[in-house]
Amino acid sequence: MAAVTPAMIKELRERTSAGMSDCKNALTEAEGDIEKAVEIILKKGIVKGAARAGKIAAEGEAAAHVSADRKKGVIVEVNCQTDFVARGDEFKGFVKNVVAVATNLAKGKDIGAEKYPGSDKTVEETRVELAGKTGENIVVRRWDVLEAQGDGVVQAYNHNGRVAVLVSVEAPAGKKDDADFKPFIENVAMQIAAMSPLVVDKSQVSAEQIAKQKEIYQAQMKEELDAATARLAELEAATDLKPEELAAEKKAAQAKKGPPEAMWPKVIEGKITKWYSEVTLLGQDNVWDPGAGSIDKVRGELGKKLGGDVKIHAFARFALGEGIEKKSEDLAAEVAKTIGA
């Protein structure tokens, strides 16, 4: 059996990122064979990675990438548990390679089953190994593909790894490389990142979503009416206010009752119209040129300039950790648990 030397331990640590004692034990078990020790460490990493699979992973990176011909874009979100790991070269390299795999993959395929670049392992096997090496739960949470339509392109925008966007925009024939078209699609991508629209236009809002929003507005109006009515009842019984104070309070409470219930449907329709301007990309006011109007208006003006219709077909927006319920840490309890351990 070959003696385990500090140089061997150092090499194994550099190759696996495992702890010193883990490296020493693996080398001892492998009888000094570095390659065998690497395999042992990775197998132990798989066990560690699996054990951490239940831990909340809400940090990481959201990334979007577009092919050289701008005809296809991919967007991914890969999560880990801490910002420290997210900023590390190994994690960033993993995200970059996941993007590369997704670029050549048909939508709906299992990305975890695909071959990992430069390796004979799959993306999933590499993910589990990385979880073992970093000591954190690593998750390829989601990915999507967007393709250009007609004489259009896909534009990507990445904001510090926290928000990633893809948008598919079609230009009039022969105009996708026009000097006015490029800044428009770049600005639209940034608009999506900043303003978080839900859909391109109101035709994509479902009847169920509209009905739910109407219910919300009606409930809000009823709550305001009930609160104002209760306040008016209190004021009727009040004896500690001067006449002028009482009159002012009643006037304020009456105003808070809002419109008569018979007018609610019309008021709610007005609220829905305003809601459309918030949740639809075309309905939003553009953020890059205040005063120029909505995205739809800017799009229309650009179309006139280019001599045809500019169409925004679809977009995808991933915000890092959105929808993941992060654990609220109780520091006192954690310290007490550590002391008692």
Tell me 155's DSSP state.
E
Burial class (CB in 10 A: 0-12, 13-18, 19+), 42: buried
Beta-bridge mates of residue 122 = 115
Count the Cβ atoms, other than its own, within 10 Å of residue 146: 24
User: Cα(70)–Cα(147) distance, rounded to whole angstroms?
Assistant: 9
Instruction: Provide the pLDDT for residue 301.
Output: 97
pLDDT bracket for residue 325 (50, 70, 90): low
User: Cα(225)–Cα(261) distance, rounded to whole angstroms?
Assistant: 9
Instruction: Provide the pLDDT for residue 41.
Output: 74
| Tens-digit pLDDT profile for residues 35-70 | 888 778 766 664 455 555 566 778 999 999 999 999
Beta-bridge mates of residue 60 = 79
| Tens-digit pLDDT profile for residues 127-167 | 999 998 898 989 999 999 999 999 999 999 999 999 999 99
pLDDT bracket for residue 335 (50, 70, 90): very low
Return the structure tokens found at 90.
């190994």
- Across residues 66-87, what is the average pLDDT? 96
Instruction: Provide the pLDDT for residue 68.
Output: 95
Hey, which bits of 88-192 come out as E strands?
139-147, 152-159, 163-170
User: Cα(123)–Cα(269) distance, rounded to whole angstroms?
Assistant: 49
Instruction: Provide the pLDDT for residue 48.
Output: 57
Instruction: Provide the pLDDT for residue 200.
Output: 97
Of residues 199, 50, 194, 16, the one with CA closest to residue 127: 50
Q: Which residues contact 20 (CB under 8 A, 6 or more apart)?
A: 9, 13
What is the DSSP secondary-structure string of 268-319?
HHHHHHHHHHHHBTTTSBPSSSTTS-BHHHHHHHHHHHHTS--EEEEEEEEE
Instruction: Provide the pLDDT for residue 40.
Output: 81
Q: What domains are defined for the chain?
A: 6-51 (1.10.8.10), 59-197 (3.30.479.20), 206-279 (no CATH)
Handedness of CA 39, 41, 47, 48 (dihedral sign): negative
User: Cα(85)–Cα(318) distance, rounded to whole angstroms?
Assistant: 20
Instruction: Provide the pLDDT for residue 16.
Output: 67
Backbone phi and psi for residue 128, each to the nearest 5 degrees, phi listed first: -65, -40
- Across residues 3-22, what is the average pLDDT? 78
Straight-line distance from the first to the last Cα atom of the chain, in angstroms, rounded to the nearest whole number? 38
